[in-house]
Structures are given as C-alpha cells and as structure tokens.
Amino acid sequence: MDDVKTPESDVSAEHYRRLAEFRFRIRQFLRFSEESARLHGVEPQQHQLMLVLKGLAPGTRPTVRALSSRLCLRHNSTVELINRLAERGALIRRQSEEDRREVLIELTPFGEELLRRLSVLHWQELQTSGPALSEALQAIAHDAVPGAAYQETSSEMQRAATQ
C-alpha cells in the first residue's frame, strides 16, 4: 500500500506557490472589476450580465437560459439581476417574434454606454495587470500536472463530498 500515489503526495511546495500566485492575480483583477462596477453604480454580477449579454456568440439567442448558463447562475438569480438592470434602464425584455413565449434580453443605449465605459477600464487594467496574470497561468499550464496518475473530475469530487 505504500506505493499508492495520491494527489497530495504529488503536489510540491512549488505547485502550491504557483497556484497561490495565480489565484492572487485572478483575485486582484476581480477586485478591480468589482470596485469599477460599483463606482459606476452597478453590482459586479450586473456588470457581468451585461458583458455576457453583449458577448454572446453569434446565433445565440439572448434568453434567460443562455445568460444563466454563461453566468453559472440559477434561472431565478439571473431573472433578479435582469429585473434590477431593467429598473435602472440598462436593459429591456422583448418577446421573440419567432416564438411569442420566448423573452429576449437587450441592452438599452444607456446599458451599452455603461458597459462600454466599464469595458474600456477593464481593457486598460488588463494591459497593466495582464502580463503578471498570464505569467502566473503559464507557470501552471506548462508544468507537469500533479497527481496525473490519480485525477478526479469535479463531478466525481462533488459526488464524493455529498456522500
């Protein structure tokens, strides 16, 4: 039994350091993003919803389901974000012309301008902080995967955690 490899035995102090550095760089950017959104009068998840809406792939219908999927949120949480942004005048709902049961979400001119301002700020921040974030990711991505002989998928880990 002493020869059994576990993920814990394959993770070195250097691996932990690299993961911590990567997480730190992500958190720095997320904090910038959160503060920028709030300074512009929206909550970070509202900003994210506007960005997801504007950045949907061509041909993807802007439905609550599509937005929920991209935001990794439940339907009702996405609806609440939409309600708040609609109250602010940043987006509107309209019925699909093809299927009257389907509701499509669209940015208003106010929402477009708000998103544009936030996107410019984010782009500028990434010009500054992006190289360090990229370097931290590269330090992880080009290294051997710790525990490669013993990998679990996230769904397997979730199942194990709930048993």
Q: Say if CB 30 and CB 40 are below 8 A apart.
A: no
The CATH number for 102's domain is 1.10.10.10
C-alpha span between 125 and 119 (Å, rounded) = 10
Number of Cβ within a 10 Å radius of residue 118: 19
pTM of the model: 0.80
Orientation of helix 75-87 relative to helix 64-71, angle to 10°:
110
pLDDT in tens, 1-49: 455 445 556 788 999 999 999 999 999 999 999 999 999 999 999 999 9
Residue 120 has pLDDT above 70, yes or no: yes
pLDDT in tens, 22-33: 999 999 999 999
> Is residue 60 one of the residues assigned to a domain?
yes
> Is residue 2 one of the residues assigned to a domain?
no
> Is residue 93 one of the residues assigned to a domain?
yes
The whole domain housing 141 covers 11-162
> Is residue 1 one of the residues assigned to a domain?
no
> Is residue 5 one of the residues assigned to a domain?
no
**pLDDT mean across residues, the chain:** 88
The predicted pLDDT at position 150 comes to 47
Q: Say if CB 107 and CB 91 are below 8 A apart.
A: yes
> Is residue 151 one of the residues assigned to a domain?
yes
> Is residue 131 one of the residues assigned to a domain?
yes
Residue environment code for 29-54, b if the CB has 16+ CB neighbours within 10 A, otherwise e = beebbeebbeeeebeebbbbbbbbbe
Which tokens sit at 27?
Answer: 């958190």
The predicted pLDDT at position 11 comes to 84
pLDDT in tens, 63-73: 999 999 999 99
Our count of domains for the chain comes to 1
pLDDT in tens, 123-146: 999 999 999 999 999 999 877 655
> Is residue 140 one of the residues assigned to a domain?
yes
